[in-house]
Amino acid sequence: MMEIILLERVEKLGQMGDIVTVKDGFARNYLLPQKKALRANESNRKSFETKRVDLEAQNLTQKTEAEAVAEKMDGVYCSLIRQASEGGQLYGSVSARDIAEAATAAGFAITRNQVQLDRAIKMLGTHPIRVQLHAEVSVMININTARTEEEAETQQAADEKGETTDVAAATADDVAEVQVEEIFEDGAVADAEAALQDDDAAEEVAEAPAEEAEEQA
């Protein structure tokens, strides 16, 4: 285990200036190389306290800039054109690098390390993804995976209206709708046939007395 001083807020660890203990690998492979922390030795403690005011001011400036970007970026749609099966399953998944490149193409330069990809994207449709713009600022964007630009536009329009954009679900809904229509159509046909039979029977009943009357006459 290693004791470190946080140079910025780190989710689930603490705020700037906090002294926390983490696993050696996490510190060496992530926190220290990313300049998010310092080893909590006597020299670094004194250095941090000397620079603390400047670091806090710098952090505040970066946070303000990130909030301005987040306001423009929030909810933006980024299209990714991919090959997929008829059921909507992608041939391959979407990586954090793919998302970062799509966001950059949409006018928001981010790196793959800022993309918080909790699960792999393996289906067509729109997928909400969190982007960490700053230690204290994150934003949600929509990754729109489609086979063509036209399909992407259709999916985005449907998503903005609150309609389903899941291709497999949409296909299932279409099948169910057709089945329901067929049931109603079959029922309508059956009702019509029954009505015709009832009419024929009524005509036969009405014609029978008339024929008997003619025979008696």
User: Is the pLDDT assigned to residue 9 strictly greater than 80?
Assistant: yes
User: Is the pLDDT assigned to residue 21 strictly greater than 90?
Assistant: yes
Rounded average pLDDT over 116-144: 95
Q: What does the mean pLDDT of the chain come to?
A: 83
Nearest-angstrom CA–CA distance, 120 and 118:
7
Q: What is the pLDDT of residues 196-205, one digit of tens each?
A: 455 555 455 4
Say what the pLDDT of residue 11 is: 85
Could you tell me which residue, 47 or 183, shows the higher pLDDT? 47
Say what the pLDDT of residue 5 is: 96
Say what the pLDDT of residue 148 is: 95
Identify the weakest region by mean pLDDT among 103-112, 125-134, 144-153, 159-168: 159-168
Identify the weakest region by mean pLDDT among 90-104, 150-164, 200-214: 200-214
Say what the pLDDT of residue 46 is: 94
* Nearest CA-CA partner of 124 in 103, 101, 150: 150
Which pTM value belongs to this model? Answer: 0.68
Say what the pLDDT of residue 93 is: 85
- What does the H/E/C string look like for the chain? CEEEEECCCECCCECCCCEEEECHHHHHHHHCCCCCEEECCHHHHHHHHHHHHHHHHHHHHHHHHHHHHHHHHCCCEEEEECCECCCCEEEEEECHHHHHHHHHHCCCCCCHHHEECCCCEEECEEEEEEEEEECCEEEEEEEEEECCHHHHHHHHHHHHCCCCCCHHHHHHHHHHHHHHHHHHHHHHHHHHHHHHHHHHHHHHHHHHHHHHHHHHC
Q: What is the pLDDT of residues 66-87, one digit of tens each?
A: 999 999 999 999 999 999 999 9
Domains of the chain in start order, with CATH, are: 2-52 (3.40.5.10), 73-170 (3.10.430.100)
User: Is the pLDDT assigned to residue 121 strictly greater than 70?
Assistant: yes
Q: What is the pLDDT of residues 98-118, one digit of tens each?
A: 999 999 999 999 999 999 998
User: Is the pLDDT assigned to residue 122 strictly greater than 50?
Assistant: yes
User: Is the pLDDT assigned to residue 40 strictly greater than 80?
Assistant: yes
Q: What is the largest CA-CA distance in the chain?
A: 130
Say what the pLDDT of residue 166 is: 52
Rounded average pLDDT over 12-41: 94
